[in-house]
Amino acid sequence: MTILEALNWGKKQLEHISSANPMLDAQILLSACLNKPTSYLFANFEEKIPIETTNKYQRFIQRRQRQEPVSHILGKKEFYGRTFYINPHVLTPRPETEILIEQALPFIDQKTAVIDVGTGSGAIAITLAAEKQIPVIAIDISRQALAIAKHNAEKEKVADYIAFLQGDLLQPIFVKKFNFHNKTTIITANLPYIPHKKWLNLDNDVKKYEPKIALVGGVDGLDYYDRLLQQLKNNRHKFDSIII
């Protein structure tokens, strides 16, 4: 099978998957199997693919046919110019979350305290630490998610900048009595926001493969944000200035 034949075959296999972009998904999966950039595919359409690579590619396509996200098949996702390892315990970083990074960066300097609540894969905390070389506190209730976040931080060489804490929203920083006086505290929080009824109607590539705990925010989708704001209200005296 040539590269062109493999791409056309993969595209055809994925055409009935509502959540797929058939040709793009085929390109990404084949380039991963070949360990080559997608640009290599277009310049080498007639290249023969080794049988073991073909078999791996076919297995990847079969997984995508079951609506498993491409990022889960590959175990990684690009975010703000970096590659983050992911698994079923963390939400796949979304491109739209990069907007949060763009909004936060102008406010961050060496006198800023940054807290990332619901850190998941660590994409936000790690990106901010790497871009600004500043300390960040990253919190998640999931031990498995924190393990992935720590792994990503080590890969990006910012593990020394980040304190990883397990607990419910801001609760760990109050228990450990962090000092946020004389600082502007920036809180980033990409928390579960989907109402439960809406989650029931999501595509299977989200509902079956993404962690429900990272997506569903109660009846109206705002449970976690309401509790976060209540925690801040109850502990307002511990901060000088807060940006959320």
pLDDT value, residue 238: 83
3-class SS of residue 205: helix
- pLDDT of residue 242 exceeding 80, the answer is no
Question: Who wins on pLDDT, 238 or 55?
Answer: 55
Confidence of residue 15 (pLDDT cuts 50, 70, 90): very high
Q: What is the mean pLDDT of residues 63-87?
A: 95
Checking if the pLDDT of 20 tops 80, the result is: no
- Backbone dihedral angles phi then psi of residue 182, each to the nearest 5 degrees: 65, 25
Q: Is the pLDDT of residue 111 over 90?
A: no
Name the band, by pLDDT with cuts 50, 70 and 90, for residue 12. Answer: very high
Provide the pLDDT for residue 202. 86
3-state secondary structure 109-161: CCCEEEEEECCCCCHHHHHHHHHHCCCEEEEECCHHHHHHHHHHHHHCCCHHH
Amino acid identity at 198: K
Average pLDDT, the chain: 93
Q: What is the pLDDT of residue 145?
A: 97
Predicted pLDDT at 243: 76
User: Is residue 32's pLDDT more than 90?
Assistant: yes
Q: Is residue 33 pLDDT above 80, yes or no?
A: yes
Domains of the chain: 3-66 (1.10.8.10), 88-243 (3.40.50.150)
Q: Where are the beta strands (DSSP E) in the chain?
A: 76-79, 82-85, 112-117, 136-140, 162-166, 180-189, 239-243
Angle at 160 between CA 155 and CA 165, to 5 degrees: 95
